[in-house]
A and B are shown apart, each in its own frame.
Chain A
């Protein structure tokens, strides 16, 4: 089955700086790559996603890049703010009729230092 590795497990950056979280996946058939943000005591919330026919996607301060050849994708957050502090998860799915759900990385705890 799919295996998703996520690094780093903890990332501390100064407010206003950029943060980058990286993930690799093992199944070349995976074609959907979402990123989730989880705040303490809450369920994960989708912040951005990318499909395998696209190399990069941007939404305001957040961007995701995908390298299918190397089987890795990354989350970029620019101009970080205190409210960006949370745990971030990457995930992968290959879809298909009746196929299983998302395979998640183990998460990155992002800390924004004032």
Chain B
């Protein structure tokens, strides 16, 4: 998985609780991405980062926030989890941007009850 780890790998939480997912890379890649994967929808971009403290919204950003204080870490926060946020979340990295090869992490399976 190209030096990408995600934590936790599995999480079950209740509606209304805050949740933070972590993506850690050892490749020193500038770009990092968060996607969610749902049956029938493929993968959809939530947020991305093009450098430390530089982030922007993707296609399905509502209800999510991100932070990147170090090159190697990209955090995804659900401020108040809802059942519609039950999904598998993947982090990806690339060296030179969205038209460069993106390497994906192993994923985090999140269940919101």
Contacts and interface: CB of A to CB of B under 8 A. Distances in A.
Interface string B74-101: 0000000000000000101000011101
B33 A101 contact: yes
Interface string A48-60: 0101000000000
What's the interface size class on A, roughly? 20 to 34
B102 A43 contact: no
Contacts of B50: 97-98
B102 A46 contact: yes
Contacts of B45: 100-103
Given A1-B59, A101-B98, A102-B98, A45 B104 contact: yes
A93 interface: yes
Contact of B56 (A89, A100, A102): A100
B40 A93 contact: no
A102 B42 CA distance: 11
A34 B101 contact: yes
Contacts of B104: 36, 43-45
B43 interface: yes
Closest 7 CB pairs between A and B?
A: A95-B99, A43-B104, A32-B99, A104-B42, A106-B42, A93-B98, A101-B45
Interface of B: 1, 33, 35, 40-45, 48, 50, 56, 58-59, 90, 92, 97-99, 101-107
Interface of A: 1, 6, 31-32, 34, 36, 41-46, 49, 51, 89, 91, 93-107
30 contacts: A1-B59, A32-B99, A34-B101, A36-B104, A42-B106, A43-B104, A43-B105, A44-B104, A45-B104, A46-B103, A93-B98, A93-B99, A94-B98, A94-B99, A95-B98, A98-B50, A98-B56, A99-B97, A100-B59, A101-B58, A101-B92, A102-B43, A102-B98, A102-B102, A103-B45, A104-B35, A104-B43, A105-B42, A106-B40, A106-B41
